[in-house]
Homo-oligomer: A and B are copies of this chain.
Amino acid sequence: MQFELTKTYLEQLKAAIQDAHAQFILDQIAELHAADIAEILDALNKYEAEYLYQLIEEEEKAADVLIELEDERREELLSSLSSKEIADQVIENIESDDAADVIGELSEEKKEEVISHIENQEQASDIVDLLQYDENTAGGLMAKEMVVVNQNWTITHCLREMRKQAEDLDDVYAVYVIDDDHKLLGLLSLSKMLVSPSSAIISDIYDKELQSVTTDEEAEEVGNIMDKYDLIVLPVVDESGVLQGRITIDDVVEVIKEEAEKDYQMASGISEDVESTDSILDLTRARLPWLMIGLVGGILGAKVIGAFDIHENIEMALFIPLIAAMGGNVGVQSAAIVVQGLANKSIGVDSIFEKLIKELGVALLNGLICSVLILSIAMALGYGIFLSLTVGIALLSVIVFAALFGTFVPLVLDRYDIDPALATGPFITTVNDILGLMLYFLIGQMVALII
């Protein structure tokens, strides 16, 4: 029942495009959802995608496909349309938030041309209004289409007005109640409207408890609020409480997902938002920065090892990989738990100091277990008392240090409004590696003095 883009399907389609076999292609995509057609277009090359896109007869469907495309493919297709075509065929058929996104991607010149071609004046001014907001704020996420009723109306009056307003809407998820100054007062639930007599006045039956955000609220925070309060649609107001628009959760799911993915990419050392389908050059560029930091770290590591006279205790070289890896690993673990806690707002109200004390407990427990294990194993494998003791003590020190450092850095970054996920990335891992090596050789010197 669900559409799945297979290789065979795609090859058939590519061959049909090659042969300009239009009817076959139309039959293939006739029953497909816009999101599925967009998936196909993203998988074709530029020429094939343009050919297929031109074939879509229904304007509304074509417009829906366009907004589902990857950014690059959309830009390509849009550049083959005139400003008037964009206004008439695309913008007229999509909701204001999508329209603002599409127009926002155009050049300044084309932007103005397209807007001047929009026939519906109200739609044009809605879009101009939406374009002023940063895309990472509530204003940038919201749409203007919504059903709004005045608190003084009766249900009968409401229904009449709703009928007018609803013609432009795909669907109604909430009915907002405002006063004469357009200030948002609350929500009229459809169930309440259905069960009340038609002469009832809205102000007597609407729900005054509702969450709202201002236009400048950050997109990430909008996601948190909708997630926390299980909201499907969230109204947006300006500073004086006047209703400006609404955000539906499907637009916010992207934000929530991207946020989680960004953390993942940072932890994996990928610096840009890349996908496996991107070009080799893009993929290289996204990955090189971590490798550069790793390179610098490796050279510093060489300097650290060189600074301590390795000739005196050559066998210490054997456990360099262990010490370096464990420092990095523990640091990333600690930082990841903090980062996730901050993202989920589940980090609790303890101070940084209390969190460090707790992390010290975890690190001591982990460290002692690992330390005793490596000491016993190294002894059993015959590495001798000096090396075994050095590795054991160093491992405990490295684990405790890396854990505290890994907890401390993201908390401090967060306090200064820098993305704490940076702390799970290359920089801190590398710093932990090097400091771990220094601790290892310092402890080696101390153990050598004692034994």
Chain B contacts for A322, CB-based, 8 A = 294-295, 297-299, 301-302
Question: Which residues on the B side are within 8 Å of A399 (C-beta)?
Answer: 291
Is A157 interfacial (CB 8 A cutoff)? no
Q: Considering the chains assembled together, what is the distance between the CA atoms of A437 and B287 in angstroms?
A: 22
A335 to B264, CA, bound (A): 12
- Answer whether residue A71 sits at the interface, using C-beta atoms and an 8 A cutoff: no
Least Cβ distance of A424 to chain B in Å? Answer: 6
* Assembly CA distance A424 to B227 (angstroms): 28
Kindly report how many copies of this chain are found in the complex they form together. Answer: 2
In the complex, the answer to whether A341 meets B277 with C-beta atoms within 8 Å is yes
Q: Is A415 an interface residue (CB 8 A)?
A: no
Question: Known interface pairs A253-B227, A291-B366, A333-B269. Does A321 touch B348 (Cβ–Cβ under 8 Å)?
Answer: no
**Inter-chain contact A276/B348, CB cutoff 8 Å:** yes
Cα–Cα distance between A263 and B265 once the two chains are bound (Å): 10
Q: Which residues of B contact A298 (CB under 8 A)?
A: 319, 321-323, 325-326, 374
Collect the chain B residues with CB atoms within 8 Å of residue A231's CB: 250
**A191 neighbours in B (Cβ, 8 Å):** 166-167, 169-172
Q: In the complex where A169-B191, A248-B232, A275-B344 touch, is A269 in contact with B373 (Cβ < 8 A)? A: no
1/0 per residue, CB under 8 A from B, across A326-345: the answer is 10111011011110110010
Q: Would you list 15 pairs from A and B whose C-beta atoms are within 8 A, ordered by A residue?
A: A1-B212, A166-B194, A172-B191, A172-B194, A227-B254, A269-B329, A276-B340, A284-B365, A297-B325, A298-B319, A298-B323, A301-B319, A302-B318, A302-B322, A310-B317
Q: A43-B349, A287-B333 are in contact. List 20 more A-B contacts (CB 8 A).
A: A43-B348, A163-B195, A170-B189, A172-B190, A226-B250, A227-B257, A264-B264, A267-B268, A269-B332, A269-B333, A275-B341, A284-B365, A288-B369, A291-B326, A294-B322, A298-B319, A301-B319, A305-B317, A305-B320, A321-B324
Q: Interface on A for B, CB 8 Å cutoff?
A: 1-2, 5-7, 10, 33, 35, 43, 159, 162-163, 166-167, 169-174, 189-191, 194-195, 209, 211-212, 225-232, 248-250, 253-254, 256-257, 260-261, 263-265, 267-270, 274-277, 280-281, 283-284, 287-288, 290-292, 294-295, 297-299, 301-302, 305-306, 310-311, 314, 317-326, 328-330, 332-333, 335-338, 340-341, 344, 346-349, 351, 355, 358, 361-362, 365-366, 369-370, 373-374, 377-378, 381, 383, 399, 424, 426, 430, 433-434, 437
